[in-house]
Chain A
Amino acid sequence: MTGEAMTTDAAAPSPFTMVTGDPSAMVCEGDVCYVPGATAE
């Protein structure tokens, strides 16, 4: 596994304890998918 799991992402406005996991994991928002914090694809 890359990255550190089970760490809190203090920047996320989430009620959950965010698992960092792999920081390069992709998410989709609108019609673009991207790595959070990186340039949108």
Chain B
Amino acid sequence: MSRRVNVDFPDPLVPATITRRGRSGSGSEGPSIIRAYPTAEPCSGTGIGGRQHPFAYIVSEPIKIDIWSDIACPWCYIGKRHLESGIAALGADAPDVEIEYHSFELAPDTPVDFQGSEVDFLAKHKGLPVAQVHQMLERVTGVAAAAGLDYDFDALQHTKTLKAHELLHFAKEQGLQLELTERLMRAYFTEGRHLGRVDDLVALATEVGLDADAARAALESGRFAADVQADIAQAGAYGINGVPFFVFEGKYGVSGAQPAEVFTQVLTQVAGERDEAAA
């Protein structure tokens, strides 16, 4: 489970995690995105007294990736896919990573129940020329398709994402933030689901294994509202004005939906620096 927000990046952000590394004879093993905890499979560690211990593991820390994003940000979902592709491109050499999402509410003034399409919202609510709106939506739809995402702006229901962010914090507490992030983004951009209402959010929460009653209680109580605002405030303190924004190991900042190769390069850099430090 990811650590709670607070965030002073100069301090160690990465909780000690036990992961299995270098499984012999498995050339196809890809990167591990957290939750790589011990299994019952023996490996070749050395136990107390020099004896082979059947459950010995190398204690290591995954590379921490903090991501500021909004569910309603089309480039955040694309950036997510590019990051995943960048990690996967490293294949068996990929380092273990721990990903934590942070809240960034793009448009706090958005009504929960906006009546109209995305084009309507951007054209009427924000005053953008209709032709320009169509052009930008066509462009993002094309880039999303190249990333394997089937965006449907005709079905999209524009809404305020504050409650969705609260639910993501609840999911983080439950160890299911990555699953819920993917589910909410897919629901918003490809399925035209409404993400501003408690009932709809609870339904999606249950699909990733969250308890319905607990999710509803978390949303109705506003228990995670302060965490959402803390994330947003932290982004401001870091000078983060736009999303997606990725931070690797509290050291390297990556802004925007960068190509997969950029993420691959940053991960390689960070892993190399770790190796040098350990040598």
- Write the residues of chain A forming the contact surface with B, with a CB cutoff of 8 angstroms: 1-2, 5-6, 12-19, 21-22, 25-34, 36, 41
Contacts and interface: CB of A to CB of B under 8 A. Distances in A.
B253 A29 contact: no
Interface in B219-255: 238-245, 247, 250-255
A interface, over-half SS: loop
A26 B253 contact: no
Contacts of A27: 75, 242-245, 255-257
28 contacts: A1-B265, A2-B259, A5-B262, A5-B265, A13-B239, A14-B238, A14-B239, A15-B238, A16-B238, A16-B251, A16-B252, A17-B251, A19-B266, A21-B254, A21-B259, A22-B259, A25-B259, A26-B78, A27-B255, A29-B241, A29-B243, A30-B107, A31-B106, A31-B110, A33-B74, A33-B136, A33-B140, A36-B255
Contacts of B262: 1, 5, 19, 21-22, 25
A22 B73 CA distance: 19
A34 to B, nearest CB: 8
A7 B110 CA distance: 36
A19 to B, nearest CB: 5
A33 B106 CA distance: 10
B interface, over-half SS: mixed
- Top 7 A-B pairs, shortest CB-CB distance: A25-B256, A16-B253, A27-B242, A21-B262, A13-B239, A29-B242, A1-B261
A27 B247 CA distance: 15
B259 A15 contact: no
Contacts of B254: 18-19, 21
Contacts of B250: 16
Contacts of B60: none
B241 A6 contact: no
Contacts of A17: 251-253
A18 B126 CA distance: 31
B255 A18 contact: yes
B202 interface: no
Nearest to B132: A41
Given A5-B262, A41-B135, 9 more contacts: A2-B259, A14-B240, A15-B10, A16-B9, A17-B252, A18-B252, A18-B253, A19-B262, A36-B255
A31 B121 contact: yes
Nearest to A1: B261
A18 B128 CA distance: 31
Interface in B67-99: 70, 73-76, 78
Which of A2, A22, A27 is packed against the most chain B CB atoms within 10 Å? A27
Which of B76, B258, B259 is packed against the most chain A CB atoms within 10 Å? B258
A26 to B, nearest CB: 4
